[in-house]
Every structure is written in C-alpha cells, then in structure tokens.
C-alpha cells in the first residue's frame, strides 16, 4: 500500500534544503479528520511555528465551498502546510495563493512525468475532464501579515469514489484520476511531496513576476477558449468562454454568450460544455 509510515522518515531532513521550508516542523499521521483543521489552532489561531502535516487518510476532507474530498486510506497524497505573506505584497500579487498552489502542483506532476495534465481555474489540476488534484487555502490576518494554510490533495492510486462524491471532486459525475492511471506507478509519497514543495518555493519567490500569467495560461490550455457553464456564488448562471487571467490575483475574464465580459473572483461551479 502506498504512503506507509516508513516512507516519511527522512522528510524532516529534506525540508531544510527546500526554499521556504527550512523552519517547518514535519509530521505524518495515519489518519485524521482534516490536515487543514489540524493546523488551524497552531497557525491561524495560535503562535506556533510553521508546520507541514501529511496524512494517510482524511475522514473529513473538504475542498472549496465545503465540498467533500473523498479518499481511501493510503491512496492519495494529503497534506497541508503553513505560510505567511506581507499584506501589502498580496495586494499586488500576480496570482492569488490558491491559483499559485494549483500552478505549483501542475508544474510538479508535469516534471515527474504527467505531461498531459492541465490547470483549471481557480486551482484544480486535471487530466482531460477528470480531477487529479485539488487545493484548499484558508487564511487569517495577523498584524501586517496574512497567515495561510495551503491544503493539497493528489490522487495517487485508483479508487472507486461514490458517485455523489465524484460529482463534487471530479465534476459532473466523472470519477477522479490518479497518478498511477497516468503511468506514474513508481513514485513514492516523499518524491511527489518534495516536487510540489520545490515548485511552490520557486513560484512564491516570483510573486510579482508577470511571467507567471503566461505560465498559468499555458497550464490552462484545455480551459481557456472552451465553452463553460458558470455559476456564480450568488446563484447567477451563464454560459460562455473563459478568456484570460487578469492581475492582481489572477481573476478570470469570462465572456458570456450575450457578449458581456466580466471579471470573476470566485465561482460556485465551472463546467465544460463540450
């Protein structure tokens, strides 16, 4: 079974060599409710040191808008880590933290061999119309800074998600996809984790670099220009085409069938129509 305890014994030492993670305390647990929830009392509500937590299974995993994230024990890479940004910097960032995390996962799994994966706004990593990975970022202000917990789930081995769950994680009743199904059977948990952390450290160091927009556009090659059904948080529904990303934050420029163009900062759902 993938993601056994012994796989993680050397991770603490490796963190000291990854940019931005030198001070992170590492822990692995066989199972927990939610890795994000476990870090909240320490980081968002307390004054503890930054941490990185990996779980073999989550019983209350969730994604955006409270949607359930389903996994089977030791078949997914499930982890959360703490981060902190100056508030003034966030006001000018090219991509928001969730979109940047999605780009980091996309870059990492591509470098590991999954060349066909793409990035779907706001932060899902896809293979075709099936979801490989999702991100949940939760934040709280702290003086002149913003503290955040970046939660990431990557499907590693195939599993049979219930249909009701796949509608939330895979979209429109489609099942999720795993790294193994993409031909990446030989990877260990620490290998995938390390690749993601290295990618995150490299990207977050370029927070103000407008070249990130072009990288995100290329990563979204199966998203931009393709008809989608958009449902906004207030319940408004429309059909149209995602056109581009707009800084600061990587807002979505969406053109409705009526010809109206709007900047979208959040969506309840966004599904392909073809």
Per residue in 3-60, pLDDT (tens digit) is 555 578 788 888 999 999 999 999 999 999 999 999 999 999 988 899 999 999 999 7
Please indicate whether residue 111 or residue 74 has the higher confidence score (pLDDT). 111
pLDDT above 60: residue 165: no
- Report the pLDDT averaged over residues 226-233: 95
Of 177 and 169, the one with more pLDDT: 177
Between 156 and 61, the more confident residue is: 156
Position 111 scores a pLDDT of: 95
What homologous superfamily does CATH list for 5-219? Bira Bifunctional Protein; Domain 2 (3.30.930.10)
Indicate if the pLDDT at residue 172 is higher than 50.
Answer: no
Q: Where do the domains of the chain lie?
A: 5-219, 228-272
Residue among 189, 253, 202 at smallest CA distance from 223: 253
**Structure confidence at residue 166 (pLDDT):** 43
3.30.1140, 1.10.287, 2.40.160, 2.30.30: which CATH number matches 228-272? 2.30.30
Counted residue by residue, the chain has a size of 274
**Minimum mean pLDDT range among 146-160, 161-175, 182-196:** 161-175
The long-range contacts involving 4-11, CB below 8 angstroms and separated by at least 24 positions, are: 4/56, 4/74, 5/30, 5/56, 7/188, 7/189, 7/190, 8/54, 8/189, 8/190, 10/190, 11/54, 11/190, 11/193, 11/194
b/e 223-245 (16+ beta carbons within 10 angstroms → b) = bbeeebebebeeeeebebbbebb
Amino acid 159: pLDDT:
76
Residue 256 near residue 239 (C-beta atoms within 8 A): yes
Helix (H, G, I), strand (E, B) or coil at 115: coil
Mean pLDDT for the stretch of residues 181-194: 91
């Amino acid at each position: 079974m993938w993601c056994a305890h012994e796989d993680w014994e050397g991770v603490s030492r490796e963190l000291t060599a990854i940019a931005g993670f030198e001070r992170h305390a590492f822990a692995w647990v066989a199972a927990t409710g939610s890795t994000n929830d476990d870090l909240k009392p320490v980081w968002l509500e307390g004054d503890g040191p930054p941490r990185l937590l990996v779980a073999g299974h989550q019983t209350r995993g969730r994604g955006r808008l409270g949607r359930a994230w389903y996994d089977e024990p030791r078949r997914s890479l499930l982890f959360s880590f703490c981060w902190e940004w100056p508030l003034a910097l966030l006001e000018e960032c090219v991509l928001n933290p969730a979109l940047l995390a999605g780009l980091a996962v996309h870059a990492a799994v591509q470098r590991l061999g999954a060349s066909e994966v793409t990035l779907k706004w706001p932060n899902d990593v896809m293979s075709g119309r099936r979801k490989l990975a999702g991100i949940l970022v939760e934040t709280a202000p702290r003086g002149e800074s913003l503290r955040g917990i970046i939660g990431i789930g990557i499907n590693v081995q195939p599993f049979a998600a219930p249909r009701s769950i796949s509608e939330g994680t895979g979209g429109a009743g489609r099942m999720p996809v795993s790294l193994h199904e993409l031909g990446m059977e030989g990877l260990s948990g620490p290998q995938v984790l390390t690749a993601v952390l290295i990618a995150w450290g490299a990207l977050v160091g370029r927070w103000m670099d407008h070249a990130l927009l072009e990288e995100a556009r290329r990563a979204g090659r199966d998203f931009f220009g393709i008809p989608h059904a958009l449902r906004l948080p207030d319940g408004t529904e429309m059909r149209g085409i995602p056109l581009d990303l707009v800084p600061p934050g990587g807002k979505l420029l969406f053109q409705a069938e009526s010809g109206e163009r709007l900047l979208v900062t959040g969506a309840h759902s966004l599904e392909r129509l073809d």
